[in-house]
Amino acid sequence: MVVEVVMPKMGESITEGTILEWRKEIGDPIEMDEILLEIGTDKVDSEIPSANAGILVEILAEPNEVVEVGKVIARIETDSDSAVVKKQEKKPVVESSSKEVVEPDSKKEIVKEEAVVSAPPSIIREQTDKKETSGKRFFTPVVKAIARKEGIRLEELNIISGSGINGRVTKRDLLAYLANKIPETVDSTTSSKMYVESKLIDERVEMNHMRKLIADHMRISLDTSAHVFVMTEVDMTHIVNYVQENGKQFKEDEGFSLTYTPFIVSAVVRALQNYPDMNSSIEETTIVHKKNINIGMAVAVDAGLMVPVIPRCEELNFLGLCRKVRDLAARARSKKIKPDELSGSTFSISNFGIFNVTIGTPIINQPNVGILGVGTIKKKPVVIETPQGDTIGIRSIMMLSLGFDHRLIDGAGGSRFIESVQQNLENIDLEHLF
C-alpha cells in the first residue's frame, strides 16, 4: 500500500515550510521514526521522522521549495514485496565508470552510487569534464559543511558525480569521494603556483535557511527599534561561592548542573514586575503591557541562533526556572524544540559570557522593547566599602548590558531597570532558594 507524506503542521501559526534536505532517496528503505527529511520554517529547522516503514517511491518537493502545510511531498510503499521505484520525470542520464550511458528504467537495476564514486579522483575528473553542465548546482547544508571541514573548494565539489535527484551530490557521494581521494604529488614550483592561484579564488556559499532568517530578523529589528544601551557591573561572588558549594549535591538530586542562568532569569523577572514598561511591546502608537512575563533565552546552535521562551516565569519558583532553562536549551541544541516554543517572548536574555566575552550590545528581539546582555564572570580587584573604611578585595564580577527601545524607554527608565537587576542579584536570598 502506498501512503502519502504531507507537509506537517509545525505550530499554530505555521502555514508553510521549506524543504531543506531529503535524508532518503527514491528506492531507499526507511524504518518507522527514522529521519526522512529536514524542514525549515520561519522559526526553526526540524528533522521529520517517517510515520511508516517501507520504501520511498516518490519525492514531490525539491530542496528549497516552499510547501503549504498538508500538501503531499512524498509517497512511501509500505508493502516491501510489491514496492517499485517510480520513474521520475526528466531523470538525468547516469554515466557509469565504464563510460557506458545507461538511461534509468523501472525494469532495469538502479545504478548504485558506488559505481560512480569508487573510481579514483583522476577518473572522476575525466568523466565530469566530459559531462555537459547547465545552471548552478545545488548542494545541501550537510554536504557544504563536510566540504568546508575537509577543505574541499567549490570548484572541486562541482566535479563530483552525484547520485541524487538531477545529479545532486549526496552526503554519501562526498564521503565516498573523500575515502577514494588520491593525494597528487607535485613539486615545490607547482605547489607554490597552486597556492598563489588558490589565494585568488573567492568561495561563494549560499546562506542556509536559519542564517537567512536571523539576517532578516536582525535587520528588521534595527530598522524598527531605536536602540540605546546602558551597562553596569554586578558582584556575583556570593552566587559563585554558592554554586561551587552546592553544585555537586544539586546535580545528584536533579541530574544536571546548576548554572548561573536561573539566578539571572530570577533577578530579571523580579525587575520586570517593578518596571512593567520593559515587559511591553509597541504596535504603531499603542503600548501593549503584557500580562505574563515570558523570558526568551538566546541559545547558540550549530547552524546559528534560537530563542526558546520560558512562559509565565512569574509563576515559577527557582527550581522550576532551573528545570525550564535546562530543558529548553537542551532541546534547542538537539533540534527537538517546537516552533510554538520560539514565540511569545516579552523580554529576552543573551548570555554571551559562556563564550568568555566580557560585554556586548545585543540586538532587541522583536517585538520586545528590551534585551539583557550577560558577560562572563571574572575575578577582579575591587574597592570594598566597610564601616571601618575602604579595603581592596578579590571579587567575582559580571558585566550586564541592557539594550532598550528608546521609543518607549528613556535613559532614566533603562538605568533604573538594570540597577534593579543588579540589586536583585547582589541581594538574593540564597538560604531560601529551594
**115-163 tens-digit pLDDT:** 334 444 443 343 443 333 434 577 777 788 888 888 888 888 888 888 7
For residues 260 and 314, state if they share a domain. yes
The answer on pLDDT for 348 being more than 90 is yes
Range of the structural domain that residue 142 is part of: 97-199
Tell which wins on pLDDT, 186 or 173.
Answer: 173
Q: What is the model's pLDDT at position 89?
A: 43
Q: Of 173, 199, 225, which residue sits at a domain end?
A: 199
CATH number of 70's domain: 2.40.50.100
Distance CA 221, CA 125 (A): 47
* Model pLDDT, residue 140: 76
Q: Is residue 204 part of a domain?
A: no
Quick one: cell of 348? 529576552
More confident residue, 424 or 152: 424
pLDDT of residue 131: 39
Q: How far is CA 120 from CA 123, 153, 184, 242, 382, in A?
A: 6, 18, 11, 60, 65
188 and 251 co-located in one domain: no
Band of the pLDDT at 374, cuts 50, 70, 90? very high
- How high is the pLDDT of residue 182? 59
Mark whether 375 and 233 lie in a shared domain.
yes
Beta bridge partners of 297: 349
Query: What pTM, to 2 d.p., does this model score?
Result: 0.64
For residue 98, is pLDDT > 70? no
The verdict on 365 and 272 lying in the same domain is yes
Mean residue pLDDT across the chain: 83
Alpha helical stretches, state H, 137-225: 141-150, 154-158, 171-180, 188-199, 209-224
Q: Is 426 domain-assigned?
A: yes
Residue ending a domain, among 199, 222, 242, is: 199
Identify whether residues 271 and 147 lie together within a single domain: no
DSSP assignment, residue 369?
S
pLDDT higher at 87 or 327:
327
> Is 86 inside a domain boundary?
no
pLDDT in tens, 17-33: 889 899 999 999 999 98
Residue 4 reports pLDDT greater than 90: yes
* Lowest mean pLDDT across 188-192, 244-248, 254-258, 374-378: 188-192
Burial class, 170, CB count within 10 angstroms (exposed 0-12 / middle 13-18 / buried 19+)? buried
Q: What is the number of domains present in the chain?
A: 3
Q: 189 and 272 in one domain?
A: no
Q: Which residue has the higher pLDDT, 129 or 74?
A: 74
Residue 83 lies in a domain: no
pLDDT digits (tens, 9 = 90+) for 159-177: 888 877 667 788 778 888 8
| Distance between CA atoms of residues 371 and 392, nearest Å | 33
User: pLDDT class for 368, splitting at 50, 70, 90?
Assistant: very high
Domain boundary among 142, 170, 199: 199
- The string of DSSP letters for 316-363 reads --HHHHHHHHHHHHHHHHTT---GGGGS--SEEEEEGGGGT-----PP
233 and 351 belong to one structural domain: yes
CATH number at residue 182: 4.10.320.10
407 against 197, higher pLDDT: 407
Mean pLDDT of 286-293: 97
| Whether residue 218 sits in one domain with residue 72 | no
Q: What is the pLDDT of residue 210?
A: 80
Q: In the prediction, which pLDDT does 166 show?
A: 66
Residues annotated as catalytic (active site), given as ranges: 406, 410
Say whether pLDDT at 359 is over 80: yes
Q: Is residue 354 part of a domain?
A: yes
Whole-number pLDDT of residue 84: 45
> 69 with 192, same domain?
no
Residues 184, 230, single domain; the answer is no
Do 48 and 117 fall within a single domain? Answer: no
**pLDDT score of 158:** 85
Same domain (yes/no): 61, 175: no
Burial environment of residue 356 by CB neighbours within 10 A (0 to 12, 13 to 18, 19 or more): exposed
Q: What pLDDT, in 10s, does the model give residues 193-215?
A: 555 555 567 888 888 888 888 89
